[in-house]
Structure formats: structure tokens, C-alpha cells
Amino acid sequence: MTQNYYGWGLPIDISTHGAGIDKLIWIVHIAMVLLFVGWLLFFVYTLIRFRERPNHKAEHHGKHFKLPTYVEILVAAFEVFLLLAFAMPLWNQAKNQMPPDDKALHIRVIAQQFAWNIHYPGKDGIFGKTSPNLMDSSNPVGLDSSDAAAKDDVVTINQLNIPVNTPVIVKLSSKDVIHSFTLPVMRVKQDVIPGQSIPVWFQATQTGDFEIACAQLCGLGHYRMRGFFNVQTQEDFNKWLQEQAPK
């Protein structure tokens, strides 16, 4: 728990898909710094060389530059490269390349002011029926106890455990306002919008204790809408789920 994963750079990445995002961020920033420094050197040189001084006159017909046109074309080409090589494939991967349903662990996350309700389907692998009319503080996801599939469902508050090296599909929904489900180490961030059920998927590559954050202002308690995100070995995860199961 006390292990320090975080410093001044990007947070550590324990996801299978995050490396692409990180690489994109790095490439953009290196290009930005190069462009800016080159530009700044030219800028400072110009300011010094053309400062007002005796016997120096401004030229009405200034020099015509070819270089900027090339730089602009280069920047445009670079942007096209970023779009084609990174941004579009990565987005496609996040949105359209969900792991197959039968291979993945399915979890529902229901956000509310100011907690994350985590809903596991239990042994039968089927989520029990839920209804907004049944939601209260003892039944935060509004589980319908008359439904057979609901009997073995596990509901936790602010505690998301997943097994390592297993694809996970999380269906996000919200009871009240817009939240944003954020797993910084997993490079996952997705707005949770009331009235919609939005899937995200990820797969962890190492175990450890991390956190869930809310990234969208959701009210006065927004800052403390923090959940725990533990990546466990498959055995630990099974054991944990069994402990949580209703007796």
C-alpha cells in the first residue's frame, strides 16, 4: 500500500493499451519542445539583431522567407502522421476492439455523489435486475432481490478489484450527475453520463494497489470521490470475491 508509484512524470502504466498513449504524449512533447526552442532562438536573435540603434534603419521591403512555408507544411504533415499513426488507431482500439465477451470479466460501475458502486455478476456471470426505484443507502445499485440472477451478485462501494492479465469490460452508468471514471495508472478516463451505459475495457499487466478518481466536477464532494483499485492475482481475486459473496 505504501509503495510509491508516482513522481513528476507520467504515472506508471500497468495497462496493455497505455503504452501507445504514452508514446503519443512523448512524441508530441518532444516535437513541441524542438519546435519551440528553434523558434525561440530565431526570435531572440531577431530581437537582438534588429534592435533600435544609431545608424540602423528598418527596411520597408523586408526579406521574403521560404523557410516558414516549409515548416508549416512539415507541421501539417507531422499532424497527419500523429492522427494516422496514433490518435485514430488508439481511439479505434479503445472504442471498437473490445475483448470478446466470453473471455472478459464483466463489471458494472454505478457512480453517484460521491461514491463508486461496483457491481460484480457473481458466480453465474449474470447481473441481477436493477431499478432506480429500489436504490437506497443499503441497496446502492437498486438490485432486485426477487430476481434469481441477483442472488449471488456482489456489490462493493469504492472497491474495484480485478485479476491481473485478464481483460475487463466495465459498463459505466451514473445515478445522478456526470462523473468521470478515471484510472490514472490504467490510462482510462471516461465520462459517466446519467441515462447512458458506456463500456470501457482494459487489461492490467501487474498487481498493486491503486486508485479510482473522479475527473468531472460532480458536486461539493467531488474532490473526495476516491475509490480503491486493486489489481490482484487470479487466485487472490477469486478468494476476495468469495469473501464478498452474500452468505
Partner 1 sequence: MSDHSHKELPFWRKYIFSVDHKVIGIQYAVTGLLFLFFGFCLVMLIRWQLAYPGQELPFIGSWFPETQMIGGIMLPEFYYQLGAMHGTIMVFLGVVPLAVGGFGNYVVPLQIGAPDMAFPKLNMMSYWLYFIGGVLMLASFFVPGGSAQSGWTSYPPLSVIAAGGQTWWLIGMAFLINSSLLGSVNFIVTIIQLRAPGLSFNRLPFYVWAQFVTALLLLLAFPPLMAAAVLQLMDRLAGTSFFIPTGLVVNDAITHFVGGGNPILWQHLFWFLAHPEVYVLILPAMGIVAEIIACNTRKPLYGYKALVYSVCFVGFMSFVVWAHHMFLTNMGTTMSTFFQITTMIISIPSIVILTSLILSLWGGSIRFNTPMLFAIAFLPMFAIGGLTGLPLGLAAADIHLHDTYYVIGHFHYVVAPGTIFALFAGVYHWFPKATGRKMSEFLGKLHFFPSLVLMNCIFTPMLIMGLAGALRRMYDPTQYAHAQAVQPLNVFISISAFCLALAQIPFIINFFYSIFWGKKVDDNPWQATTLEWATPTPPPHGNFLKAPEVYRGPYEYSVPGQKKDFWPQDMKGAN
What residues numbered 166-205 form the site for partner 1, per CB under 8 A? 175-178, 180, 182, 184-185, 187-191, 193-196, 198
C-alpha cell at 113: 455523489
Cα→Cα distances 4→8, 15, 18, Å: 12, 18, 19
Q: Which stretch binds partner 1 (CB under 8 A): 30-38, 100-108, 150-158, 231-239?
A: 30-38
In sequence order, what are the beta bridge partners of 232?
163
For partner 1, the closer of residues 62 and 100 by Cβ is 62
Q: Is 221 in the site for partner 1 (CB under 8 A)?
A: yes
Can you say whether the dihedral through the CA atoms of 7, 222, 212, 173 is positive or negative? Answer: negative
Nearest approach in angstroms of CB 16 to partner 1 is: 14
CB closer to partner 1, 67 vs 243 = 67
For residues 113 and 29, give the distance between their C-alpha atoms in angstroms, rounded to a whole number. 36
Tell me which residues in 53-72 interact with partner 1 (CB under 8 A): 53, 56-63, 65, 68, 71-72
Answer for which of 104, 113, 147, 208 binds partner 1 (CB under 8 A) is 113
Of 23-31, 101-109, 119-127, 148-156, the window that binds partner 1 (rule: CB under 8 A) is 23-31
Within 70-89, which residues bind partner 1 (CB under 8 A)?
A: 71-72, 75-76, 79-80, 82-83, 86-88
Whole-number Å distance between alpha carbons of 34 and 27: 11
Query: Of the ranges 20-28, 121-129, 150-158, 230-238, which one interacts with partner 1 (CB under 8 A)?
Result: 20-28
Q: Which three cell numbers stand for residue 35?
A: 519546435
For cell 508530441, name the residue: 28
| Residues in contact with partner 1, shown as a per-residue x/- string from 127 to 166 under the rule CB under 8 A | -----xx-xxx----x------------------------
5: CB partners within 8 A, 6+ apart: 11, 12, 185, 208, 210
What is the smallest separation between the CB atom of 232 and partner 1, expressed in angstroms? 18
Size of the site for partner 1 (CB under 8 A): 96
Cα 153 to Cα 111: distance, rounded to the nearest angstrom: 17
Strands of the sheet with 227-232, listed across from one edge: 159-163, 227-232, 208-214, 179-183, 188-192
